[in-house]
Amino acid sequence: MRGPASAKPQPPAPLAGCARLLAHCPDRSGIVAAVSGFLHQRGVNIIHSDQHSTDPEGGRFFMRQEFYLPGLEGSIEELARDFGREVADRYQMNWSVVLAGRKKRVAVLVSRLDHALMDLLWRVGRGELHAEVPIVISNHPDLRPAVEAFGVRFEHVHVPEVHDAPRGRGLTVPEEKMLALLEAPEDLPGCPVDLVVLARYMRILSPAFVKRFPQRIINIHHSFLPAFEGADPYRRAVERGVKLIGATAHYVTGKLDKGPIIEQDVIRVSHRHRLDELKILGRDIERQVLSRAVRWHLEDRVLVDGNKTIVFA
C-alpha cells in the first residue's frame, strides 16, 4: 500500500553504535593488523574497511574504517584515548574517530545565484545528506525568502566591492561579522559549524578566515580546474572554443582555486552553444559535483594528502 503523495523517502540513517576511524601515517607493515587487533579486543565489529598506500616503500598509508559496537556512544572517548596510546602513537598517525550517527552542522555562504544552495537545502530536507543547515550567510539580501522557506536562518553580511583592509587578526570587517555568526553558540544554537560550503559565494576569503576552518571549507568552482581559474570561466571557455566544460569541488586554501580537489565532472559542448546555454549546462554539473563532495565529506570519506585528496567513495 502506497503512502501519501507528500511522504518523503528517507535513506537509512547511520546505525546507532557506528563510528568511523580515519587515519594516515608513514607506510609500514603491520598497520592494518594493529588497528584490526585493537578493535577486535574490544568486541568491535568492523563493517567496512578501505585503505590506500601511495608507495609501499617510503610512502604514506591511508585508512578509513566503519565499525559497530552496541552502546558505543557512551564509550567513544575512552576508545579513542586507548587507540591513541596503543596504536596511533606507535605508527605516528594523524587520526580521528567520529560517531557516524551525529549530523554535521553545515553553514552555506552564497551570493545571488541560488542553484547550488537550493540543491543542498533540498537534499538536506529530503534526508539525502546526513546534516543540518543552521544558517545561510549571503553578501546580498536577495535569497532571504527562498532560504527561510526551508526554515533556515538567513543572514545578510554586506561585503564591499573593494575589500576593506584586514584588521588586527587579518580578518576584514565582514569576515569578523561572519565568524561571530559561525562561532558563537549563544547566538546560534547548535554551532559552531563543522563545515562551510561556498555555494557560488563570489567573494574571496582571506587566509586568516580560511585558517579558522582547516579542510572544512568546500567551494564549487564553475570550471574543470586547473583550467580557467578565477572569475568568469564560462565566458573564457566560449572565447577559447572549448569542447568540454566542467565543475570542480575543492577544499579552500589561502591560494585562489588551488585547494585539494574532491570531485570533478564535465559535459561535452560545441561551437553551437552560446554563453547563456553554457551557463545553464554548467549549473547542472555544479549542483551534482558539489552535492557529491559535500556528501563524501559528511561521511568522512575524504583524506587530504598535501594538495591532493584520497576519496574512499
92: domain CATH number?
3.30.70.260
7 confidence band (pLDDT: 50, 70, 90)? very low
Task: Mark 200-238 as b/e (b = at least 16 C-beta within 10 Å).
Answer: bbebebbebbbebbebbbbbbbbbbbeebeeeebbeebb
Whether the predicted pLDDT of 16 surpasses 80: yes
Residue finishing a domain among 99, 134, 158: 99
Give the pLDDT score at 184: 65
Give the pLDDT score at 43: 94
In a shared domain, residues 142 and 186 = yes
Between the alpha carbon of residue 258 and those of residues 227, 271, 306, the distances in Å are 11, 29, 12
121 Cβ contact partners less than 8 Å away, ≥ 6 residues apart: 108, 133, 136, 147, 150, 152
In a shared domain, residues 90 and 230 = no
In a shared domain, residues 174 and 224 = yes
Give the pLDDT score at 4: 41
In a shared domain, residues 90 and 191 = no
Residue 169 lies in a domain: yes
Whether the predicted pLDDT of 116 surpasses 90: yes
Residue 7 lies in a domain: no
Burial of 178 (0-12, 13-18, 19+ CB in 10 A): buried
User: Active-site residue numbers?
Assistant: 257
10 confidence band (pLDDT: 50, 70, 90)? low
In a shared domain, residues 115 and 259 = yes
Residue 5 lies in a domain: no
Give the pLDDT score at 2: 41
Q: What is the pLDDT of residues 210-260, one digit of tens each?
A: 999 999 999 998 877 666 677 778 788 788 888 888 899 999 998 888 899
Whether the predicted pLDDT of 11 surpasses 70: no
Q: What is the pLDDT of residues 121-177, one digit of tens each?
A: 999 999 999 999 999 999 999 999 999 999 999 999 999 877 665 665 689 999 999
Whether the predicted pLDDT of 206 surpasses 70: yes
Q: What is the pLDDT of residues 52-102, one digit of tens each?
A: 999 988 899 999 999 999 999 999 999 999 999 999 999 999 999 999 999
Cα 138 from Cα 110, distance rounded (Å): 5
160: domain CATH number?
3.40.50.170
Cα 99 from Cα 77, distance rounded (Å): 10
Q: Are strands 217-221 and 195-198 parallel, antiparallel or unpaired?
A: parallel
In a shared domain, residues 34 and 73 = yes
Q: How many domains does the chain have?
A: 2
Cα 225 from Cα 202, distance rounded (Å): 17
How many residues comprise the chain? 313
Measured on CA atoms in the order 161, 162, 168, 170, is the torsion positive or negative?
positive
Residue finishing a domain among 99, 133, 155: 99
Give the pLDDT score at 165: 57
Sole residue written with cell 576519496? 311
In a shared domain, residues 159 and 71 = no
Domain boundaries, position 253 = 104-311
